[in-house]
Amino acid sequence: MSKTSFSDLIQRQAKKYGERIALKHRDYKTNTWIPTTWNQFAETVTMVSNALIELGVEVQENIGVFTQNKPESLFMDFGAFGVRAVTVPLYATSSEAQVHYILEDAQIRYLFVGEQQQYDVAFRVMALSNSLKQIIVFDRDVKFDARDESTIYMDDFLALGKNRSHQDEVDKRTAESQKEDLMNILYTSGTTGESKGVMLTHAGYESVMDAHCERFLGLGENDVVINFLPFTHVFERAWSCWCLCVGAELNINLRPQDIQMTIKEVHPTAMCSVPRFWEKVYAGVQEVINNSTGVKKTLMQDAVKVGLEHNVNYVCKGLTPPMWLHMKYKFYEKTIFSLLKKTLGLERGAFFPTAGAAIPPAVQEFILSVGINMVAGYGLTESIATVSCENNFDHKIGSVGKLMPHMQIKFGENDEILLKGPAITQGYYKKEAATKASFTEDGWFRTGDAGYMEDGFLFLTERIKDLFKTSNGKYIAPQAIETKMVVDRYIDQISIIADQRKFVSALIVPDYKLVKEYAEEKGIAYKDMAELLKHEEVMKLFREHIDTLQQQFAHYEQIKKFTLLPEPFSMAKGELTNTLKIKRNVLLKNYAEEIAKMYEE
């Protein structure tokens, strides 16, 4: 059994770390962080394993976990791995239709849910399900439906395993664990089409852990990590597994919208995130600079300029900065940059892997300039996250880093990135045709992403499936335009429209606060946001900003018309995935009228 084997990882770590803190979670009633030691973690995992045997869970049976991030998610995962069961995580915001589909597809008998919202959805789905036998609820505050005769709470479930009456069977299954066993089935949230269950094995996860330990030497038992993305997402899941493998302390953030607050409470040394988090940091700091005056503004602007020259033009290229530049940078590091990091709660921050979407170069340059080690990477659910990644201040702006040691890469038709390696999925659960279509004849996985290598760094160019073709036959890469536009302080969200259209247009969600401030400055009267966003002065403002940003694009790639929206894109309306990627097909439907107006003769 390897050092990264997950069937008994927590028990082995408990023998090593004992009463050290393994996990913390925030108690919202007392506004305090509650610790869980490695010994407590291991004891709970053992109870979960015994309780699962008591329920009759079989080897490689699929178990559903439908919750936001909670310690119980990890208890269930590792308890299941100990008895060779498979965990199937569901996003906390999943709809009844999505939950029903996954339960039936994976034939899930036992579903563990987090809070009231997930319980309510699960109970309604239970009436339609042919497979679901019982719901187990993590949160004691959840109120059960009066008709519900089978649901139990997590502590009642744990009581089934408290006396360890099935420990011999647990030990037997742990010892018989196979590297080829399925560990997870992760259903892709997907920006288009039906969700597919990605099958991921223990061998795949172990290869990822070993590769990360080989590539990155810094993360370890003294690190304090905060979770931000859902454990359901492969990036956070694999990252958290690695953190547990190296003995780091995990601080579990329950509510994604609270991350700005919880970061300041935890003061993490590391966190994985999507570019959207850093885009908001960038926009916030730019706003502070823009609203400053005099010496303060001059100093902040010079600090960013010096940081860019020092970190991006020298340090990231492996060069030694001139002494005068280094001294100037050290001054700003101890004053302006230090204050900025403290304000963000990142004064101890050392390692911030970021992936899931394109990182705007201006954002990446800024974050590196102020001395925050944001590390760009690239991965997929099908590769158990990291395919490539930058290392500590080994950056090339615009790239997604160097290939991980467990990965092989080549480029196919249309420069498509093709992958091989022990972490690549066996395929999609019960979907032979989709699995076959995702691999070449000689076994390379088709990523659907186009790219190229330069000086050992991987660069992404576009999502092949997302390429738009205008009615004039020109190809448009919407992500390239959106990445360029979203750095503007007035633009919060944007979606490019172009496929089978005469020209490029855009749906834009403005930064409402800044637009209101602009209206006040210009003396514009309005009754609501919808009226304000149609005002000639506001439209002119956005036109000027867009035209400035899109000068580098070919004429046929430039945004000709745009619509400013009075409400943001949201998961509630089905317009965003759980990782905040735009669902273009949903936007086309939800804003059909607005889009049609932009193309009227």
* DSSP annotation string for 496-539: EE-TTSSSEEEEEEE-HHHHHHHHHHHT---SSHHHHHTSHHHH
Beta-carbon contacts of 6 under 8 Å, excluding residues fewer than 6 positions away, are: 78, 81, 183, 202, 205, 206, 241
Segment 390-404 shows an average pLDDT of 88
Neighbours of 556 (CB within 10 A): 15
What stretch(es) of the chain map to CATH 3.40.50.12780?
9-177+216-266
Cα 361 from Cα 377, distance rounded (Å): 14
Residue 126, pLDDT > 50, answer yes
Residue 392: pLDDT over 80: no
Question: What is the model's pLDDT at position 508?
Answer: 96
Q: How far are the Cα atoms of 177, 182, 288, 324, 334 from residue 301, in angstroms, in the given order?
A: 57, 52, 11, 18, 16
CA atoms within 13 A on the CB side of 268: 27
Q: Residue 427: pLDDT above 90?
A: yes
500 - beta bridge partners?
Answer: none
Name residues whose C-beta falls within 8 Å of residue 475's C-beta, 6 or more positions apart in sequence: 467, 468, 469
Per-residue H/E/C for 362-408:
HHHHHHHHCCCCEEEEEEEHHHCEEEEECECCECCCCCCCEECCCCE
Centre a 10 Å sphere on the Cβ of residue 279 and count the other Cβ atoms it contains.
20
pLDDT tens figures, 302-332: 999 999 999 999 998 889 999 999 999 999 9
| C-alpha span between 317 and 126 (Å, rounded) | 56
pLDDT recorded at residue 526: 94
Whole-prediction pTM value? 0.84
**Assigned token pair, 130:** 């042919």
Architecture of domain 9-177+216-266: 3-Layer(aba) Sandwich (3.40)
pLDDT at 283: 87
| Contact present, 540 and 524 (Cβ < 8 Å) | no
* Residue 281 predicted with pLDDT over 80: yes
CATH topology (fold) of 467-598: GMP Synthetase; Chain A, domain 3 (3.30.300)
Q: How does pLDDT run across 433-451, given as a tens digit for each residue?
A: 999 999 999 999 999 999 9
Average pLDDT for residues 82-93, to the nearest whole number?
95
Residue 441 burial (CB < 10 Å; 0-12/13-18/19+)?
exposed
Query: In this prediction, what percent of the chain has a pLDDT beyond 70?
Result: 98
Most confidently modeled range among 170-174, 397-401, 446-450: 170-174
Listed range (32-36, 202-206, 369-373, 459-463) with the worst mean pLDDT: 459-463
What pLDDT band is residue 193 in, cutting at 50, 70 and 90? Answer: low
Residues 196-234 pLDDT 10s: 999 999 999 999 999 999 998 779 999 999 998 999 999
Task: Map residue 150 onto helix, strand or coil.
Answer: coil
Residue 599 has pLDDT above 80, yes or no: yes
Is it the case that residue 194 has pLDDT exceeding 70?
Answer: no
pLDDT digits (tens, 9 = 90+) for 52-65: 999 999 999 999 99
- What pLDDT is attached to residue 95? 84
Q: Is a pLDDT exceeding 80 seen at residue 492?
A: yes
Q: Which pLDDT does position 191 carry in this prediction?
A: 45
- Residue 261 has φ and ψ, to the nearest 5°, of -75, -45
Average pLDDT, the chain: 92
Give the integer Cα–Cα distance in Å for 513 and 568.
13
Residue 204's nearest CA partner among 217, 228, 225, 185 is 185
